[in-house]
């Protein structure tokens, strides 16, 4: 029988480290699948410190999945302010409506059903399955990919996903998920790994080898930062409007001239972030 790449000793060492050094975050005290779904969607491409603050206020605004499903798109986008990547808010809103319509307001527990929700990919589906339902599946985010890649010396995305799923201890899948994330965020860091403090340094395949030892992952093309800034400013202007207010697309924003602003507005309309007034295409507001 082949020896597992992450054995019981490594599991025990990582969990013991987590028990002593794991981060205390507000959403970790919840086992409500909806609350966990919200936190995991927020955590996509956002620093966990920002997620912690915004999760509390968002959950106060929409304490149940039914309340989120019933909310207007504009209210959800306003509540999302400060988190960025606003399409995640739309996806979360759509997922809430799908859960209410298709599952009677109860977040489904199966991985297949979770993957069928709007905007829910392999990582988020596995995170909810592990954290909310105790399933032995391994969510792989950037931190987990780096930790498992360095521990095992493996680098392929499919291979690391298989390793992650096989490494989950049956008794503590939620704690294990948090432990790997915390290990990657605090010790097994990209540029300056603190190998001397790592609980599995004695069995790590790349210990002491430095940042270059991290397996290479497929990188997405860089996001056009200026476009992201412009979209954020447009949404901020729309969020500041009263509920029945409209904003005129009538001039530059920052260094972006009107054609660039109009192009951004057109794209955001297609994505469902905003809408135009029927009788005045130059007037827009948050999608309702």
Read off the pLDDT of residues 119-145 as tens digits, 9 standing for 90 and up: 899 999 999 999 999 999 999 999 999
Query: Are 175 and 184 contacting, i.e. CB atoms less than 8 angstroms apart?
Result: no
How far apart are alpha carbons 187 and 205 in whole angstroms?
A: 16
Q: Which residues pair with 256 in a beta bridge?
A: 253
Is position 40 annotated as part of the catalytic site? yes
Higher local confidence (pLDDT), 172 or 278 = 172
Residue 263 has pLDDT above 70, yes or no: yes
Residue 222 has pLDDT above 70, yes or no: no
Q: Give the CATH number of domain 1-21+137-171+178-219.
A: 1.10.1670.10
> pTM value?
0.77
**CA 178 centroid distance within chain:** 14
Task: DSSP letter for 256, please.
Answer: B
The domain made up of 31-135 has a fold known as: Endonuclease III; domain 1 (1.10.340)
Q: List the single range of 174-183, 215-224, 236-245 with lowest mean pLDDT.
A: 215-224
Looking at residue 17, its pLDDT comes to 97
Q: Quick check: helix, strand or coil at residue 69?
A: helix
Residue 282 has pLDDT above 90, yes or no: no
**Which residues, in sequence order, are CB contacts of 67 under 8 Å at separation 6+?**
none
Active-site residue, from 40, 102, 197, 275: 40
Q: How confident is the model at residue 47 (pLDDT cuts 50, 70, 90)?
A: confident
- Two tokens, residue 37: 């779904």
How far apart are alpha carbons 117 and 193 in whole angstroms?
A: 36
Q: Quick check: helix, strand or coil at residue 280?
A: strand
């Amino acid at each position: 029988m082949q020896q597992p790449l992450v054995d019981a000793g490594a599991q025990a060492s990582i969990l013991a480290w987590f028990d002593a050094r794991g981060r205390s975050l507000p959403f970790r005290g919840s086992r409500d699948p909806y609350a966990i779904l919200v936190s995991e969607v927020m955590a996509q491409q956002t620093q966990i410190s920002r997620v912690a603050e915004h999760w509390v206020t968002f959950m106060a605004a929409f304490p149940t999945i039914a309340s989120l499903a019933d909310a207007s798109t504009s209210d959800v986008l306003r509540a999302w302010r400060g988190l960025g990547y606003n399409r995640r808010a739309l996806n979360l809103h759509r997922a809430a409506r799908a859960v209410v319509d298709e599952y009677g307001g109860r977040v489904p527990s199966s991985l297949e059903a979770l993957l069928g929700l709007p905007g829910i990919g392999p990582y988020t589906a596995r995170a909810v399955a592990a954290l909310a339902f105790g399933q032995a599946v391994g969510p792989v985010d950037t931190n987990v990919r780096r930790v498992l890649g360095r521990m095992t010396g493996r680098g392929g995305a499919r291979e690391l996903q298989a390793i992650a799923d096989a490494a989950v201890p049956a008794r503590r899948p939620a704690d294990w998920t948090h432990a790997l994330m915390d290990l990657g965020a605090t010790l097994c860091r990209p540029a300056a790994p603190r190998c001397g403090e790592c609980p599995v340094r004695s069995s790590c395949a790349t210990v002491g080898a430095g940042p270059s030892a991290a397996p290479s992952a497929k990188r997405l093309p860089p996001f056009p930062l200026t476009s992201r800034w412009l979209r954020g400013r447009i949404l901020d202007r729309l969020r500041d409007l009263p509920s029945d207010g409209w904003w005129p697309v009538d001039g530059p924003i920052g260094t972006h001239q009107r054609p660039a602003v109009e192009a951004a507005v057109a794209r955001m309309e297609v994505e469902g972030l905003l809408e135009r007034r029927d009788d005045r295409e130059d007037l827009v507001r948050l999608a309702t």
